[in-house]
Amino acid sequence: MLRQLADDVWVAERPLKFLGLPVGARMTVIRLDDGRLLLHSPLPLDDAMRAELDALGPVAYAVAPNRLHHLFAGDVAKAYPEARLWLAPGLPEKRPDLVHEGVLDDEAPPEWRGQLEQVFFRGRPFENEVAFFHPASRTLVVCDLAFNFGPRDPLPTRVVMSLIRSYGKLGPTKLDPLLIRDRALARASLERILAWDFDRVIVSHGAVQESGGYPRMRDGYAWLRDDR
Ligand SMILES: [Fe+2]
């Protein structure tokens, strides 16, 4: 179920519908220097998935990186009681049942500082997403800041994504500007993400962009960068 993309980086996918549309979901697994694992946007952890994770290392951390990507965060504590959960801003209020270690911000906590960097994408409160960067593999990890749907996706998804200009390319959709409530804050967050030297982009919905992700993200968000 887990697919290795680079040293210490794996992903797993499963079908998932959002508003009735099959968009799929992806979990990213990062192995830290001490061998412990961080689960980004966790998927359900059934026996098979746990066995694969256990073969990689102990699951120590999980992050629910935006206000919408929390559905299976509770599974982590059940499967790995010793794991510590970190939540996107606003999630503790939305999911008070989730026992968590802390709220994600621009500063990586000591647990993974220096190995993973993060930016709280401000001004977009619908998601309150925190983007991650794994410098060792030049990988940007996001959930909903970009999609990457293509010919392998189900027909309804292809149709809808074509309508919102999000088909066959990595990047934000035509609807993304509507989600932004404070453009100055959003632009500043975007600039911090674009200061990262990434090449691969892992999205939650659609395909992983194995290379060339940087110019696609930069150009996809030109409407926000140019709005000065
Ligand atoms: Fe999502």
User: What are the pLDDT tens digits along the chain (228 aa)?
Assistant: 999 999 999 999 999 999 999 999 999 999 999 999 999 999 999 999 999 999 999 999 999 999 999 999 999 999 999 999 999 999 999 999 999 999 999 999 999 999 999 999 999 999 999 999 999 999 999 999 999 999 999 999 999 999 999 999 999 999 999 999 999 999 999 999 999 999 999 999 999 999 999 999 999 999 999 865
- Asked if residue 155 lies in contact with residue 167, where contact means CB atoms within 8 angstroms, the answer is no
Which residues are within 5 Å of ligand 1 (an ion), measured at CB? 143-144, 204
For 130, phi then psi, to 5°, come to -110, 115
- Note the pTM of the prediction, 2 decimals: 0.97
Q: Can you give the pLDDT at residue 75? A: 93
State the distance from the centre of ligand 1 to the C-alpha of 219, rounded, in angstroms. 21
Domain around 209: 3-225
178 SS3 class: helix
Q: Can you give the pLDDT at residue 226? A: 87
State the distance from the centre of ligand 1 to the C-alpha of 104, rounded, in angstroms. 17
Distances (CA, A) of 170 to 145, 208, 226: 10, 9, 19
Q: Can you give the pLDDT at residue 228? A: 57
Q: Residue 176: which CATH number? A: 3.60.15.10
State the distance from the centre of ligand 1 to the C-alpha of 204, rounded, in angstroms. 6
Distances (CA, A) of 108 to 13, 51, 148: 25, 28, 27
- Count how many domains the chain has: 1
Distance CA 17, CA 165 (A): 19
State the distance from the centre of ligand 1 to the C-alpha of 28, rounded, in angstroms. 13
State the distance from the centre of ligand 1 to the C-alpha of 121, rounded, in angstroms. 14
State the distance from the centre of ligand 1 to the C-alpha of 144, rounded, in angstroms. 5
Six token digits for residue 147: 């999609």
